[in-house]
Each structure stands twice: as C-alpha cells, then as structure tokens.
Amino acid sequence: MSRAVSEVVSPSSNEGEPASWARRLVGNQQFMLFVVFVAIFAFFTFNDSVFASVSEIGNNITDFSTLVLLAVGETFVIATGGIDLSVGGTSGFAGVVGAIAMEHLAPHGEWVVLGVGTLVCLGVGIGIGLINAVLMHYARLVPFVATLVTMGAAEGMSLVLTGGAPVGSNFGAITLTEPKISVFSYPDIIIILITVVAGLYLHYSKFGRYTFAIGSNSFAVRAVGVNVRRHLTWVYVLSGALAGLTGMFIYMRLGSGAPSAGVGTELVAIAAVVIGGARLTGGSAQLSGTVLGAMILTIVSSGLIIMNVSPNFNQVAVAILIALAATFQALRKGSRADV
C-alpha cells in the first residue's frame, strides 16, 4: 500500500502541440519586451534617422547606465516584496559627498581622486542601505516608509551640503564617460558587468534564491532557519551600494556633484522593474526584464527629445508604459487556467 504513487504534477498538456512554441514565445515577457524595444527603436529611427546614429546610441547607453544600476538594486528589493524609494536621493547625495571629497583629494592625482571618490560614493550608499535596514528592523517601519524617510533625508542633505548648486567641479572626469570601446565608455562596461553578475546572483545563487523565497513566503524561509533580517539587510545594502555607484557615474558624467541629480529617478527605476515583469508584492522578478525595461524607458525619453516633444511629456510616456506593462501582466495571469 505504501508504494502508492500519487501523480503530483501531470506533464504540461500542450507540449508537442503544433503552434505551442508560438504561444510560449508570446507568453514570454522577455521576448515581448524585446519586440516592444525593437518596435520603439524602429519607430524613432523611422521618424528621424539621427536616432540610430552612433553618437545617439552612445548617448542612450550613457543614459541607460545612469538608470540600470538603480533598477538592478530595485529588482532585488522588489523580489523580496519590499520597495526602495531612497535610491534616487542616495545617488544624488553620494555624488555630492563624493564630489566634495574628491575636490579635497585633487592634489593627489586623478586615479587617487577617482578611486577614493568611488569608495566614498559606495560608502554613502551602503550607509543609507544600512539605515534603511535599521529603520525597518528596529523602528519597525515598513520598507515604503523607511525608504521614504531616507529619500527625503538624502535629498535634503544634498541641498544642505551644496546650497543647491553643483559642487566639486572636475570637468576632466567627463572624458571618462566618452565612448572608448565601440559605443561604450569604460564606466558603461563596468556597469554592464555589474548588471550581468547581479543577474547571475539573482537567478542562480543561494542569495537570489532566498531573495525570492522571502518575497514569496518569509514565514517559510524563517522556519527553515534562514536569518531573514540579515538577508533583507544585505538586499537594502546592495540597493544602496548600487545607488552610490550610480552617484559616482552621474558625477563623472556631469563633471560635478549635482544635488538634484537623482531626484525622481527612483520612480523610473521602479518603472523599469515593473515593465520588466516583476510582481510588486514580491517573489517574482526577472533581471533580464528589468534591463529591457530600462532600455525601453531610455530610448523612449531620448526618442521624444529627438522628435522635439516637450520633455514634460516624458513622464506621461513612462506612465503609459507602466500601465501597458501592468495590463499585459494581468491579462497573461488571467488567461492561465491553473492560477
């Protein structure tokens, strides 16, 4: 009797059926996002051939680089079922603190300036990530409120430190964000490498596994002996660190620490994650989706500029994209019989 074997999962019924590959392709969010990306790219190129020029693609990649690390950190956070509103403010604050530090280091030569400056930006980001974790674990704030607090504090402190004007001018740094290898600058390549490694860690490592598991059922994760608090601390520290690096990148791009550089960018980062197919309640996200989301958002805003549409419409376009992505997700879910 004990040999009774119950059929837990019947094999997928539409396997081998004709046209099932097409259905699977349409059901694949990454593929659909890629199609959307190509369509938008083609649309803008058709409207103005400048869009597909090497220099414009280079510009787009630089824009993408200022966004994607924020979105990568946000993907980890959202996968746990949290949200990090502080990444934009953190990138601005890190850029300002880094710029002030680098100004003092100027006599020591360019590489010391950039090396220490990067560490300072990273440190500021990690610090804010830790503060987020402390606010959540000890002051018992939900992630939304905890990171709203640090967002406000970081943005405010940036203004306090700078009086509202850019600080620590270093126009030499701008050259670093110019294309060196094909259309990529060195920082672009570092950012792309970080993104790839982050993707591998999110989807193939134990760290990523727990990140999704916590977003799915934190009780279950705690029950098997995982220190959920410590894991969440690492996730918010990671998000902060990537925001800090973004601050350094923005500093290099602008040639100074601009206090308002990151304001509002957290919403674009969250938009990239949502367009990428992540579920805001946690447990489900794809880093490749986030990257495609960031690519789409990047070319939409630059395409609108090239088409001479008022930049004010950019936010409207972002809003429409989020609505479309969310609708697509909801429809796909609704059509799945087994949910």
Partner 1 sequence: MSDPTPLYEARNVYKNYGSVAAVKDVSLTIHAGEIVGLVGDNGAGKSSLVKVLSGVYQPDAGQLIVDGVERHWKSPHDAMLAGVETLYQDSGLALDLTIGANVFLGREKMKPGILGRLGFLAQKEMDAEAAEDLERTGIAVHASKRTVGQLSGGQRQAVAIGRAVAWAQKVIILDEPTNHLGARQAGEVLAVMRAARERGLGVIFISHTLPHILEICDRIVVLRLGSVVRDAPTSTFTAESLLGTITGLHAE
94-to-64, 106, 155 alpha-carbon distances in Å: 19, 18, 10
Give whichever of 200 and 330 is closer to partner 1, judged by the CB atom: 200
Give whichever of 9 and 181 is closer to partner 1, judged by the CB atom: 9
What are 184's strand-pairing partners?
181
Strand, coil or helix: 317: helix
The distance of closest approach from Cβ of residue 336 to partner 1 in the complex, given in angstroms and rounded to an integer, is 8
The distance of closest approach from Cβ of residue 200 to partner 1 in the complex, given in angstroms and rounded to an integer, is 8
Which of 62, 128, 74, 121 is CA-nearest to residue 266? 74
Residue 329 CB neighbour total at 10 angstroms: 17
Backbone angles phi, psi at 257, to 5 degrees: -90, 110
Q: Give the residues lining the site for partner 1 (CB under 8 A).
A: 1-12, 200-201, 204-207, 209, 212-213, 215-217, 219-221, 223-226, 283-284, 338-339
The distance of closest approach from Cβ of residue 214 to partner 1 in the complex, given in angstroms and rounded to an integer, is 8
Give whichever of 92 and 283 is closer to partner 1, judged by the CB atom: 283
Alpha carbons within 13 angstroms on the beta-carbon side of residue 47 total 16
Cβ-contact 33, 273 below 8 angstroms: no
Q: How far is it, in rounded angstroms, from Cα 158 to Cα 163? A: 8
Give whichever of 181 and 331 is closer to partner 1, judged by the CB atom: 331
Cβ-contact 317, 59 below 8 angstroms: no
The distance of closest approach from Cβ of residue 82 to partner 1 in the complex, given in angstroms and rounded to an integer, is 15
The distance of closest approach from Cβ of residue 33 to partner 1 in the complex, given in angstroms and rounded to an integer, is 20
Give whichever of 11 and 311 is closer to partner 1, judged by the CB atom: 11
